[in-house]
Structure 1
């Protein structure tokens, strides 16, 4: 996005450097990352950075409203899914923006989705560090993954304070479903290495009364005090084969680091509540008074789906009429991604995830990092970018 830096990066790029970069990442935890890592980071100019900050502020102004919980109670399609002991703030918030161009040709973000759930907070730090190690000779001084002068050390310290705090790390768990089989397993390994916490499958979590515990390598019981939850409920609902002692609706003496209810509250369900220059028009399908005439400019999304399943990008009136449970769907204005990343062949489009964290000391939710996805397909996602290069997961370096 910054021409002189992009030109310099591309001219200095080689497949040998890229392969060494990948092997370094794979070797860090002796784990071959199953998803595509992009050949390049993205360099974000000041003007776009400022718009992203403004967009995040606009969205957080709605999430911080005193009646936000009341506005989002409808997100729980089944009241039995509500988890007890909800806190006042989502610890983690992800805001996904497509990078577009406005009517004057200036770069601008448009919100795609949002979630009150943790993402690759530790892998992204590793990824940025490896880009700097292998391509740092063409990444200018003063560019950072983080904002407001936050260094990598500051970032890791902040995460440690919010996830572990003063608790014995052994009594903090990262909870997943068969974590070693997840595509994001590398993030679990990075998290465990930095924090010293236990990565645990939900089937290994045991319960006695209100006490949760697991058995360590010596067979001794370890009480669980904090749960850093990474389980996606869409996946959990599909895994009827799992034998568990713990249910999310149980009353337990453990603190959620990232309370599960925020997964529902801050989600696609929130989109129609948001307005402004950086948000596409969005409607609950069951509350849609009139079907727009320009349906070619909209997408149809299920409110609850796993990994983008069920999204329709070529919407028709007949398709809408056939939806039997309209309360579970959203009609959202399409976002026209701009191909702004020059590569060795076709330019790539990009999406940036602004990664936010609630600071328990200041009681404010802050932008702490980012994740980028590069695409040359019809949509961002693996199946739309098969056999393409200069696509996949990346990170952005902001111009200070």
Structure 2
């Protein structure tokens, strides 16, 4: 997207830079990442940045007009839905594919959005690591952070968002079997940066409305939960016995409330309109004359691309009983964006990450992540022998 910057990076690329980054990551976090790391960051032009944030601003404005209590009743399954106050979400992730527009130019297209925390602390490490180990990564007029945040200010910002007024000892990162999750490197980065413990949901102790965890042989009160549990994952273990229900009224602050994962997600995509938002329909409300070859079928409640059908058929749709839990989203064509040294090109999805402190009125863009791939679906967890794909970060031109 910025040919001279890409050409400079590629011409100076040395495999030793990449291996040094991987070794540093393994040393710092005591293990390699559970997903592939790309050999390169992505460089985003000022023009593309303006398009991306134009879409982000429109999305956030439209989200602010939605009745989420009514949506909670309609879209969240009863066994997952809570009756406790929602409060505001502390996080928002907006995913764009960098695509080929009608005029042949590169444009962003909304792929998905979630009011759920992403890899906030790992991405901060990765953004700094590319700069440390790659001499060709430009420092002037490019940054992976937003809102005029420096690296120290970003860490302090995330400390206030996640810990709030509580001591680190009374705040936990909650996950299901964290040591088995592909994104676990972010858990360890969060623990290192903020001093909070990473606790499996199965190891929580409950007394009345209060929750506790054990540390150094003593019971510690949990006052604030940085929630990384995706409730869909819990459904994969029908015999799993939990010490509490996510939808019960507990004396704890959720960062964010568990219902937000399902509320701001694919379930509101058909309600959003913008030139950089592909048209989508709830499956049970689709027009009768829709040409399916131009649409992708997506389940509302899924994660990491599970259940996505790139080529839905009428017979496939007819077999779906719970049509209200699916959407049809207009297909987009990912651009061959990042030129690789071997002459091939990688495609890019990028995620703009927002965060909000308890007393702040608005979500604020703070950092980003990128995923690179060469296939039809971009998913860094897929095993592959390809290179110059995987987890990355974008440096945006100022």
* Interval of TM-score (by shorter of Structure 1 and Structure 2): over 0.9
Instruction: Specify which of 359, 362, 365 is matched with residue 364 of structure 1.
Output: 362
Which residue pairs with 1:216 in the alignment? 215
Shift in Å, 1:81: 1.4
Q: Distance in 2 between matches of 1:169 and 1:206?
A: 18
Please provide the CA RMSD for this pair: 1.6
Matched, 1:248 2:242: no
Q: Distance in 2 between matches of 1:129 and 1:292?
A: 46
Q: Distance in 1 between matches of 2:383 and 2:201?
A: 33
Which residue pairs with 1:134 in the alignment? 133
2:134 is paired with a residue whose SS is helix
Shift in Å, 1:148: 3.0
2:391 is paired with a residue whose SS is strand
Contact preservation (8 Å) 1:145, 1:369: yes
Shift in Å, 1:385: 6.6
Provide, for residues 128-181 of structure 1, a one-character-per-residue CA deviation record: whole Å limited to 9, x for no partner. 010010114432412111123211112111110011122111000100011111
Contact preservation (8 Å) 2:36, 2:381: no
Matched, 1:302 2:299: yes
Shift in Å, 1:107: 2.1
Shift in Å, 1:382: 4.4
Which residue pairs with 1:377 in the alignment? 375
Which residue pairs with 2:103 in the alignment? 104
1:22 is paired with a residue whose SS is helix
Instruction: Specify which of 309, 317, 333 is matched with residue 330 of structure 2.
Output: 333
1:337 is paired with a residue whose SS is coil
Superposition map of 1:203-352 within 5 A: 203-217=202-216, 219-293=217-291, 295-345=292-342, 346-352=344-350
Which residue pairs with 2:389 in the alignment? 391
- Residues 238 and 291 (structure 1), Cα distance of their counterparts in 2 relative to 1, 3 Å cut: farther
Q: Distance in 2 between matches of 1:254 and 1:205?
A: 13
Shift in Å, 1:267: 0.8
- Residues 220 and 6 (structure 1), Cα distance of their counterparts in 2 relative to 1, 3 Å cut: same
Provide, for residues 212-271 of structure 1, a one-character-per-residue CA deviation record: whole Å limited to 9, x for no partner. 111111x21111000000001111111224332121122211000111110110011010
Shift in Å, 1:336: 1.0
Which residue pairs with 2:153 in the alignment? 154
1:348 is paired with a residue whose SS is strand
Q: Distance in 1 between matches of 2:373 and 2:383?
A: 6
TM-score by length of 2: 0.96
Q: Distance in 1 between matches of 2:4 and 2:50?
A: 20
Q: Distance in 1 between matches of 2:164 and 2:200?
A: 22
1:114 is paired with a residue whose SS is strand
Q: Distance in 2 between matches of 1:226 and 1:138?
A: 38
- Residues 155 and 233 (structure 1), Cα distance of their counterparts in 2 relative to 1, 3 Å cut: same
Superposition map of 1:192-203 within 5 A: 192-203=191-202
Which residue pairs with 1:50 in the alignment? 50
Contact preservation (8 Å) 1:21, 1:131: yes
Q: Distance in 1 between matches of 2:158 and 2:390?
A: 25
Q: Distance in 2 between matches of 1:398 and 1:109?
A: 14
TM-score by length of 1: 0.95
Query: Could you list the runs of 5+ residues in structure 1 that have no partner in the other structure?
Result: none
Shift in Å, 1:103: 2.5
